[in-house]
Amino acid sequence: MKNVVVIGGGIVGLSTAYYLHKEGCAVTVIDKGDITTGASFVNAGYITPSHIIPLASPGMIAKGIKMMFNSASPFYMKPRLDLDFIKWSWYFHRSSTAIKVEKAISVIKEINLLSRELFTDIKKSGDLGDFQLERKGLLMLYKTDETYLHEKKIAERVQDEGLDVAELNKIELQQLEPNVRIEAEGAIHYQCDAHTTPNEIMPKLLSYLNKNGVHIKTHEEVIDLKTTGNTINEVITNKNNYKPDEVVLAAGSWSGELAKLLHLKLPLQGGKGYSINVARETGITIPAILMESKMAVTPMNGFTRFAGTMEFSGNNNVIRKERVLAIANGASSFYPDVKINATEIKNVKTGLRPVSPDGLPYIGRSTTIKNLLIGTGHAMMGWSLGPATGKLISELLTDNKTSMNVFSFDPNRNFQ
């Protein structure tokens, strides 16, 4: 029986623990928080095979520079003299080419489909009890012809990949969502997508692991990783010391800093997102992305979530009021009868999504530390890809055949 320490208690860390437990490993999960907050709890809950275009795509850096001095913009990069951020920005720029995006499309689709299947399998297993997992698709709502034509090109590429897509005009859109007034000219409907309630699944997953012998260590921060040669022989926290056979680094946006303890280069930046929950009837029944507002809307169990923005301003939980108000205003511009009130705005939550320079996750073994596996860097697809990442890491760790080729996710890849 392998003794494994998983660093990080987000959806990736807990999914990894879930599948390693199924493989008979003795697992300990270490998290510096209490596993009730962060990106795994405040995301849009999407499972998105349709999202085949990585964040690092042509024109994104130009958009970031253009929006750099507007802290209310949907894509905000705070100017700062930070060597890691400068290097990451350069790697991001180098990755944002049409050729690299084209290479990424098929693997992003494949891992998303794998994860959608695994979410379904977990629900069918009954391990977590019942939870929301609905296949209503995702509406890309648009107001202008320019936005429509841009998304239509992506939709055609999604169809080329064999995924289900439909176009809806204004009347058809309103017929699909009859209980809420929508100010949009139409929608692209990615019928291949699904959605969940993260706040429901995370506690159930945590409870399952606790009941089945996985050791969950909260409020413990990893402060050192001791090595002998090319092997980690001790994980040291502010409370305990652990001597594992294998270590999985799944600490989200903090993974890059922990990698430095091992003298590893793992370019990552935390992309901050915000979410507002509205726990009253909105009439919204189908998840949607409000394209001009660049935000997401999800009907979850007990509330509707309005989420959005990608903010690169360092690993902090500072809430920028202007960005929160942009989400509230964006919601009412598409759903004029849905007004997010001051109390709901005040209760906004934030989380940091780990973003790699090329928009692809890091999933795989380190080539320099033989008992280290890495699972992070999922950007906006962390929730969608959590189970797939956990499954793939468990397969790599136990020397089983992987469910898909993981070469594109190699954490040792070079961005020079």
Residue with tokens 């270490």: 30
Residue with tokens 């969608």: 384
Give me the phi and psi of 186, to 5 degrees please: 165, -165
The closest of 106, 108, 128 to 15, measured between CA atoms, is 128
> Three-state SS for 21?
helix
Output the pLDDT for position 257: 96
Q: Does residue 101 lie in a domain region?
A: yes
416 vs 405: CA distance, rounded Å: 23
Q: Say how many domains are in the chain.
A: 1
Q: Are 141 and 182 in contact (CB under 8 A)?
A: yes
Q: Does residue 414 lie in a domain region?
A: no
Around Cβ 317, how many Cβ atoms within 10 Å?
12
25 vs 3: CA distance, rounded Å: 6
Which H helix or E strand runs over 101?
helix 98-125
Q: Does residue 396 lie in a domain region?
A: yes
Output the pLDDT for position 370: 97
Q: Does residue 398 lie in a domain region?
A: yes
pLDDT averages per 10-residue partition of the chain, 416 residues: 97 98 98 96 96 82 59 69 88 90 94 98 98 98 97 96 97 97 98 98 98 98 97 98 98 97 96 95 98 96 93 81 92 97 96 94 98 97 97 98 98 89
Helix residue ranges, H only, 126-192: 145-160, 170-176
Q: Does residue 218 lie in a domain region?
A: yes
Rounded to a whole number of angstroms, the distance between the first and last alpha carbons of the chain is 39
Q: Does residue 157 lie in a domain region?
A: yes
Q: Does residue 378 lie in a domain region?
A: yes
Output the pLDDT for position 309: 79
Q: Tell how far CA 81 is from the center of its chain.
A: 27
Output the pLDDT for position 93: 87
236 vs 214: CA distance, rounded Å: 19
Q: Does residue 416 lie in a domain region?
A: no
What CATH number does the domain containing 32 carry?
Answer: 3.50.50.60
Q: Are 312 and 55 in contact (CB under 8 A)?
A: no
Domain of 255, in residue numbers: 3-409
